[in-house]
A = this chain, B = another copy of it.
């Protein structure tokens, strides 16, 4: 192992993907506490809200307040999910740093989810791009130091679709190309339905990288079939260094049909730590932050292997490194 640790970005998406997938609405005060606890544990990337009509997703009605709180931390990168131009206007006004716009590769899923075809979503994406650029040029004349808002094309149902079944590789490449032409700063790939498998993950990353190069940046796995961390491992091997995850696997029951929980943040950070990647996140602090969820959502199942089994006795950054070095064997003396 090299002495220089490679950095991996873990984006906590539980406040958005997790909370919008459960029936209850978390009170705003608890969302603030969750952000505080995650920040205290070292998390510096969070997707904290989505801008969708409150009648569709009451869980996200307090998006502005939650984002305003997140923005009180200077070095926290704050992301919001935005499905349309109206949402993009609200997101821009809120001051977020990153906007993720979902674009389904499956036409069936796209129609069911946003009542638009993928081609129509690309048009909407291009309009968001124009809006962001025009807002940026206004800001540039007002203040030279303003940070440019990053527009991420969040390709969804990339690894399979519960409605359509298999998603042709050619469709994935076509949507990625169209999103880039429409002005995407970044391409993210989402396993919306928890169907991704390791060999496929490697193939699709290479496929999209041919189209998008370094603009292919992040992966979003669900752990529906227990392969979330195995898929992450393959993505790491294919050069991906940014992953979404949810504290306590919030947002879906891995033990029920149709489960759709994100990869568990604690288990992901444990794996990354054990492999020598630097996340900046303190595992003990992260596990302690589950208390906010337990208090805010009593009775809601909290998942995760590490939180229940605990860290292995041998496990600390020091022990991991020491173990790499050959030592004198005492065992057969």
Measured CB to CB, the residues of A under 8 A from B are 1, 105, 107, 118-119, 122, 160-171, 173-175, 178, 193-195, 197-200, 203, 223-227, 229-230, 232-234, 254-259, 264, 267, 270-271, 274-276, 303-306, 308-310, 312-315, 319-320, 322-324, 326-332
Some 20 contacts from A to B, beta carbons below 8 A apart, are: A160-B312, A160-B313, A160-B315, A162-B312, A163-B313, A166-B322, A168-B326, A168-B331, A169-B323, A169-B324, A175-B332, A193-B312, A195-B315, A197-B275, A198-B274, A200-B274, A225-B306, A227-B229, A254-B308, A256-B308
Among B1, B171, B304, B327, which residue has its beta carbon within 8 angstroms of that of A331? B171
Is B122 in contact with A332, judged by CB distance below 8 angstroms? yes
A323 surroundings in chain B (CB, below 8 A): 166-169, 200
Is A224 in contact with B332, judged by CB distance below 8 angstroms? no
Quote the shortest CB–CB distance from A86 to chain B (angstroms). Answer: 24
Is B166 in contact with A314, judged by CB distance below 8 angstroms? yes
Is A326 in contact with B170, judged by CB distance below 8 angstroms? yes
A257 surroundings in chain B (CB, below 8 A): 308-310
Cα separation A168 to B329 with both chains bound (whole Å): 7
A178 surroundings in chain B (CB, below 8 A): 332
Quote the shortest CB–CB distance from A317 to chain B (angstroms). Answer: 13
Is B199 in contact with A276, judged by CB distance below 8 angstroms? yes
Quote the shortest CB–CB distance from A2 to chain B (angstroms). Answer: 12
Among B105, B170, B193, B258, which residue has its beta carbon within 8 angstroms of that of A328? B170
Cα separation A174 to B178 with both chains bound (whole Å): 57
Is B233 in contact with A198, judged by CB distance below 8 angstroms? yes
Among B227, B259, B306, which residue has its beta carbon within 8 angstroms of that of A308? B259
Is A227 in contact with B197, judged by CB distance below 8 angstroms? no
A267 surroundings in chain B (CB, below 8 A): 225-227
Is A254 in contact with B312, judged by CB distance below 8 angstroms? no
Known: A229-B226, A230-B230, A331-B107. A259 touches B309 (CB 8 A): yes
Cα separation A229 to B105 with both chains bound (whole Å): 28
A232 surroundings in chain B (CB, below 8 A): 230
A200 surroundings in chain B (CB, below 8 A): 274, 320, 323
Among B194, B195, B229, B254, which residue has its beta carbon within 8 angstroms of that of A230? B229
Q: Chain B residue with minimal CB distance to A301? A: B255
Cα separation A168 to B167 with both chains bound (whole Å): 46
